[in-house]
Amino acid sequence: MKLSSVLLNAVLGDIYLHHPRGSNNRLNEQTANRRNGNRLFDSQNNNAGGYNVGDATNAKAANMDEQYKPQYFQSGLTGKSYLTIEWTNQHGCGNRDADDTNFVDCHLVMQYKCESTSGNRDFPMRNGFDVSTPDFQGVNPNGFDSEDFQEKEGRKAASEGPNGVNDQAGNERGRHESWEYYDSCRIRSRNHNLFKADQNVGPQAINTRQNRGGQRRGYECPEERDYYPYWHPTEWTDIAILTDNPDTCTGLEAENRLPKGECIEEYRETNPGVYKHASRWNNEEDCVKYFGQWFEFYDYKNILSQITSSADCTAAGTGIDSADLVWGYPKRFGVDRHNLPEEKCLVLPDPLDCQQAPWTRANHLGNGLDGDHVQVKGYELRYEIN
């Protein structure tokens, strides 16, 4: 489950988010069916599902500023706030009882993403106004080593801005992940140890058994979408897993607090001191062999920028439990990927909440038992009863 402009993610797909309203890749169509199922992510849903972004007034919106933006309010400075999340999953989940022959193995992963509109994060998340898939100008991964920084920036500008296709005023295209995040996925070698059955799978991280040809959907990384937990840093933060088999939770509670490795290379010959946003190498051995540096990055809830040493980070006096603090490299977003990583005092995300998913009936869009309610860390999760 990914929350940004909110979306749910599962291998089988066919999950419909009702509160907050999920797009199913829909935007502002005036038709019963969405026009582009590949706009931002691989929802795998029926074309008629999802909710349009609303207009702010009784007139049809002419640009993004005239779209309605939902607001949610917290319960004061000290009281707990709850966001109810409701969805239906068409393929069902689990087994109703020991005699149920329609067992469905299901694992629902809930994630969110926060991103500032200030600083170096130059192209934040947005709904967009044009239903087209964001444009992308790629480079042959085998030729990436010879590309300099200016050439990379030219590829990005052709798509993103200031006058790129994606950012044309009045026809802006939507965005979840950053341009750099997708480009790094497209350039990086895939994990060749994964089961691929009889599929002829391409060589990059955009190629998976489920997406062997590397079809692009927004700036989503197919390998990260199709395999959980992912072994490289991502722009998403885990909240919870709802599973039909809680035995699979063993060891996953700390998953979102573990560092994830990535190869960092410098434009050594053309732009010394500037670091590449991507690398072909997906493991430490190849990374070091080809003059890269292997870094372990942490997800984080906050950065305590006033603390400048490892000793001070975990010492008493921060007002935060030392178990929730780590001195390490924070994961990077967008153009931040061109800077040399620096260690910071990081407040880690809450441990992953993994628990039993309520049973739901296959092909009845959420029909379940006992109200199908579960509470997760300040979120109230409900299956809708049809």
For 207-221, write each residue's pLDDT tens digit.
999 999 999 999 999
What digits encode the pLDDT tens for the residues 84-141? 888 888 888 888 888 888 888 989 899 988 876 554 456 678 899 999 999 999 999 9
**Beta pairing partners, 17:** 87
Whether 55 is in a domain gets the answer yes
In angstroms, what is the C-alpha Rg of the chain? 21
Q: Which of 155-159, 354-358, 371-375 has the least mean pLDDT?
A: 371-375
CA 205 centroid distance within chain: 15
Whether 191 is in a domain gets the answer no
Provide the pLDDT for residue 321.
Answer: 92
Whether 213 is in a domain gets the answer no
Whether residues 275 and 328 share a domain: the answer is yes
What digits encode the pLDDT tens for the residues 126-155? 899 999 999 999 999 988 999 999 999 999
Task: Say yes or no to pLDDT of 367 above 80.
Answer: no
Whether residues 339 and 379 share a domain: the answer is no
Cα separation, 43 vs 37, whole angstroms: 7
Cα separation, 5 vs 175, whole angstroms: 9
Residue indicated by tokens 């603390």: 307
Whether residues 366 and 269 share a domain: the answer is no
What digits encode the pLDDT tens for the residues 6-45? 333 334 468 888 888 999 999 999 999 999 999 999 988 8
Cα distances (Å, whole numbers) of residue 270 to 150, 153, 297: 9, 14, 26
Provide the pLDDT for residue 90.
Answer: 85
**Beta pairing partners, 378:** none
Cα separation, 171 vs 300, whole angstroms: 34
Residues in the chain: 386
Tell whether the torsion through CA atoms of 86, 56, 217 and 261 is positive or negative.
Answer: negative
Domain interval for residue 310: 257-351
Task: Say yes or no to pLDDT of 228 above 50.
Answer: yes
Average pLDDT of the chain is 88
- Total number of domains in the chain: 2
Whether residues 368 and 243 share a domain: the answer is yes
Whether 188 is in a domain gets the answer no
Provide the pLDDT for residue 373.
Answer: 67
What digits encode the pLDDT tens for the residues 230-255? 999 999 999 999 999 999 998 898 99
What digits encode the pLDDT tens for the residues 149-208? 999 999 999 988 777 899 888 899 999 999 999 999 999 999 999 999 999 999 999 999
Whether residues 333 and 372 share a domain: the answer is no
Whether 183 is in a domain gets the answer no
Whether residues 384 and 268 share a domain: the answer is no
Whether 243 is in a domain gets the answer yes
3-state secondary structure of 86: strand
Q: Which residue has the higher pLDDT, 383 or 240?
A: 240
Helices 149-159 and 179-187, axial angle in degrees (round to 10) = 120
Average of per-residue pLDDT across 318-343: 93
Burial of 40 by CB count in 10 Å (0-12 exposed, 13-18 middle, 19+ buried)? buried
